[in-house]
Amino acid sequence: MQAKIISVTNPRQKPRTAFVYADELSQYQLSAEHPLRPIRLHHMHELMKAAGILDAANVDTLVPRTATRTEIESSHDPGYVSIVEAISKGAIAPGMGEFGLGTPDNPVRPGMYEQTALCVGATLIASELVTSGKADVAFAPTGGVHHHAMPAHASGFGIFNDAVIAMNAMVDAGLRVAYIDIDCHHGDGVQLGHYDSDQVLTISIHESGQWLFPGTGFVQEIGTGDGTGYSVNVPLAPYTQDDDWHALFDEVIPPLVRAFKPDVLFTQLGIDTHFQDPLTHLSLTTQGFNLVVQKLGALGAEIGKWVAVGGGGYDLSAVARSWTMALATMAKFELDDQVPLSFTSLEGLTTFDDQPPAPTEAQYLSEIQQHNKSSFDEVRKLIFPKFGI
């Protein structure tokens, strides 16, 4: 499929916003028990349509293309790519376990190569529109969920790491990229993809690997060689709520991004930080999440180029509302507080904002804040001097 050219006319001076999506990427199942339900994207899309965002004059919807084998192999071992392709076509692969395939997290299925290559293509289209100047911001919500995928190994629901592939192309074009991952899980595959590079600043703010998959993302993981100091991790205590999450974000991320002076901002917007997410333990609300998007949007406006992808998110309501709110924020679209009555894809949605969870008891709040302060103090000690902060 070919992407159309996005309009550059902008009568209201609102950001030229691209939304890259194909509903076919919501129409498959990893397994009957798998927590990642691609149908979440369909619910999101229906809510965006009902809210009227996709009809806004400064929003263009584009279909993705399928990433080429060469593009995929810019991040992945050819042998691994071949076995994914063979399994996708029905081949029997006794050694697939060596590649992380055939596990409960990464079950094999017909069409997995084609579906993942289309997902990669969505992220590439978003990146190309932004880097070419045809869009100010582009959102590809099907991307980002593969941020655990390794060069020769599937991991954590991820097969081909679309973020690394897209950023490889940017770096090859001479661009410096600031990557910010707000998924509840550490973005280990993306970190590895640029661990020795000073052209990509990777920042992951996440629930500590002490308690959550993939068990990595500690402050001491700061990069190697030329990349020393360019991998930044902010591990948080479980049950961190909006205010304390944002306190760490504000202390770490804007100063580092501004000191790095990137050409492009690339953000992974996982919403498994939500307090109702069934797999994780952070406690953000949809409005807390959207405040993050607003802050990222301010950074993106300073830089002039902003690419956003999706990520984790296993509560269907949180995904639909949060990513709809995110697109509205990107496009500066006035979103009503109430979910439109015409939206019937999911039952029970009435407002975009949440009723916040109960406040954390003082005893536990003190422990949470102490853990988070320790993370910040280590980042300030190990990373900030590299950037003259």
Helix H or strand E segment including 127: helix 112-131
Over residues 256-300, the pLDDT tens digits come to: 999 999 999 999 999 999 999 999 999 999 999 999 999 999 999
Average pLDDT along the chain: 95
* % of residues, the chain, pLDDT over 90: 95
Contacts of 82 (CB under 8 A, 6+ apart): none
**Whats the size of the chain, residue-wise?**
389
CB neighbours of residue 377 within 10 Å: 11
Asked if residue 25 lies in contact with residue 41, where contact means CB atoms within 8 angstroms, the answer is yes
Catalytic amino acids? 148
Question: What is residue 92's predicted lDDT score, i.e. its pLDDT?
Answer: 80
| Residue 7, pLDDT above cutoff 70 | no
C-alpha to C-alpha distance for 313 and 357, rounded to whole angstroms: 18
CA 128 to CA 191: how far, in whole Å?
A: 22
**pLDDT of 305-332, one tens digit each?**
999 999 999 999 999 999 999 999 999 9
Q: Flag whether pLDDT at 114 surpasses 80.
A: yes
Domains and CATH numbers, the chain: 17-387 (3.40.800.20)
pLDDT at position 2:
36
- Predicted pLDDT at 4: 35
Q: How many CB atoms lie within 10 A of CB 313?
A: 31
